Amino acid sequence: MADPVRVRVYVEGRVQGVAFRYTTWQEATRLGIGGWVQNLVDGRVEAVYEGTPDAVEEMLAWTRHGPPHARVTSLHIVDEPPRGEQGFEVR
């Protein structure tokens, strides 16, 4: 099994008020991703994804479009050292 990876993601666009956090939680749970997601006061969404490289890459691919009513215009992805995140939380 591959060593876990961790990324912090800042998502811009129409990403608040469109169930982005809830559907992120659903997708992360389906993929076995640890971490969390939260709205930021500037209108962006911030998330941390930790898991296998394949699962995190699939999660990032989903994040590039988000749920049906979202309109993602930009992602800023920062690699971080894994911290052993367990479960996924909506903040």
Catalytically active residues are 21, 39
Q: Which amino acid is located at 81 in the chain?
A: P
For residue 51, what are the contacts with CB-CB under 8 A and spacing of at least 6? 4, 5, 31, 32, 33, 34, 59
CB 59 within 8 A of CB 27: yes
